[in-house]
Amino acid sequence: MDIEAIKINIGTEIQDLASLEALEELRVKYLGRKGVLAELTGSIPGLPVEARAAFGQSVNALKNKITLLIEEKKKLLAAPAAGGSAERVDIGMPGIVHEPGRLHPLTQVTREICAIFTRMGFSIIEGPEIETEFNNFTGLNIPLEHPSREAFDTFYLKADHRAPTTDHLLLRSHTSPVQIRVMKEKKPPLAVVVPGRVYRPDAVDASHSFMFHQIEGFIVDKNIRFSDLKGILEFFAKQVFGQDILMRFRPHFFPFTEPSAEVDISCVICKAKGCSACGRKGWIEILGSGMIHPNVFKHVGYDPKKYSGFAFGMGVERIAMLKYGINDIRLFYENDLRFLKQF
Ligand code: PHE
């Protein structure tokens, strides 16, 4: 066989092989004891003396080249996933799917609610989750003996919260302390919404969690009246639950508002007729509200004769549960994708 012809064709010949067995056959054919190259070497003694050395070198060079090509091909065939030739790429294999992320339903509802208020001119302000006893209670006109100050209703950072000082640190039990922070820092007119986490040592069940989310809102200015509170909350509730819901203000008590009211909407499921979702009452409570108590203004250095204001606070989980018909608060915190993907 002609050395030049082998040199030219050996590359493609090896490239076309599809298995290790075929490669081994080729190796035997060229490099084996009775192979092509052995035959070429064996023909050297028959050559003219001057030609022998050059011929011998060519045969050696060819032998090295074939050995190298076989080694390379062997690696490719042995590691098919690395893909040397196009045929070995599995085009039927599913690719890596990058699913777009999305916002948690509580984040979505929080943003939706805040947007309703910012469209009416409210600013969004956040406060810390670790609060002072003053901001969480005292400044809000909540007296020392009030049950909500007990350790079974509030998480204190130190166990000796009954020591004779009122400025222990705690995990805020509502977003109302941000009223104190904002009013201490700014002068009226104010229109603010405060989204954030709050904490209460409640046993976890379908409607309670030791941590949940609230949105506080308040306005302070001259001549703010209860009718302003009613108008704004009615606008808000209709934006969230639809124009045809009914709303009612039920007298209530909060130490930091006077008068105070709890706000109910007509049951979104039975339309105020009474069903199991609303406990046959036809109404569902959605928030607490009232006119800011003069004592709160005194604590922050506002003149209660000059200014008036209203405040309200709602639970985000509650609004989201009503809006989407969710019956267990724990679903929000379990991070089960089957739940989260629905929003
Ligand atoms: N802070 C109250 C609560 O957590 C809600 C509230 C806020 C009531 C503002 C009146 C005014 O229950």
Is pLDDT of 164 > 80? Answer: no
Mutating to test ligand 1, I would choose from 219, 256, 319 the residue with most ligand atoms within 8 A of its C-beta, which is 256
Distance CA 274, CA 285 (A): 14
Give residue 289's pLDDT.
Answer: 98
* DSSP assignment string, 255-295: TTEEEEEEEEEE-TTTTTS--TTTTTSSEEEEEEEEEEPHH
Residue 276: band (very low, low, confident or very high) from pLDDT cuts 50, 70, 90: confident
Q: Torsions phi, psi of 296, nearest 5?
A: -65, -45
Tokens 């609060």 correspond to 131
Q: How far is the CA of 133 from the centre of ligand 1 (A)?
A: 16
- Give nearest CA residue, ligand 1 atom 5: 313
**Type of residue numbered 261:** A
| Ligand 1 atom 7: residue of nearest CA | 313
Lowest mean pLDDT among 153-162, 243-252, 263-272: 153-162
88 or 340: whose pLDDT is higher?
A: 340
| Ligand 1 environment, Cβ below 6 A | 174, 176, 216, 254, 257, 288-290, 311-313
| Ligand 1 atom at shortest distance from the alpha carbon of 292 | 11
**Cα(175) to centroid of ligand 1, in Å?**
8
- Give 105-340's CATH code, choosing from 3.30.930.10, 3.40.50.620, 3.40.50.300, 3.40.50.2300: 3.30.930.10
Q: Give the residue among 309, 249, 331 at the shortest CA–CA distance from 285.
A: 249
Task: Give residue 181 CA to ligand 1 midpoint distance, Å.
Answer: 16
Percent of the chain whose pLDDT exceeds 70: 95
Closest C-alpha among 232, 225, 259 to residue 247: 232
Output the CA 261–ligand 1 centroid distance in Å: 10
Confidence of residue 111 (pLDDT cuts 50, 70, 90): very high
pTM of the model: 0.73
* Per-residue confidence band for 7, with pLDDT thresholds at 50, 70 and 90: confident
Atom 10 (ligand 1) nearest CA? 289
pLDDT of 80 over the 80 cut: no
Q: Average pLDDT in the 144-161 region?
A: 86
Quote the tokens at residue 4. 């030049």
What local confidence, expressed as pLDDT, does residue 158 receive? 83
In this predicted model, what pLDDT tens digit does every residue of 31-75 receive, in sequence order? 999 999 899 898 889 889 998 898 889 999 999 999 999 999 988
Atom of ligand 1 nearest to the CA of 315: 4
The angle at the Cα of 314, spanning 119 to 133, to the nearest 5 degrees, equals 115
- E strand or H helix that includes residue 76: helix 49-78
Ligand 1 centroid, distance to 318 Cα (angstroms): 14
Asked if residues 260 and 288 have their Cβ atoms less than 8 Å apart, the reply is: yes
pLDDT band at 274 (very low <50, low <70, confident <90, very high): confident
Rounded to 5°, angle at Cα 235 from 230 and 237? 95
Query: How many whole angstroms from 253 Cα to the centroid of ligand 1?
Result: 10
Strand partners, 211: 199
Domain boundaries, the chain: 3-78, 105-340
Amino acid at 108: Q
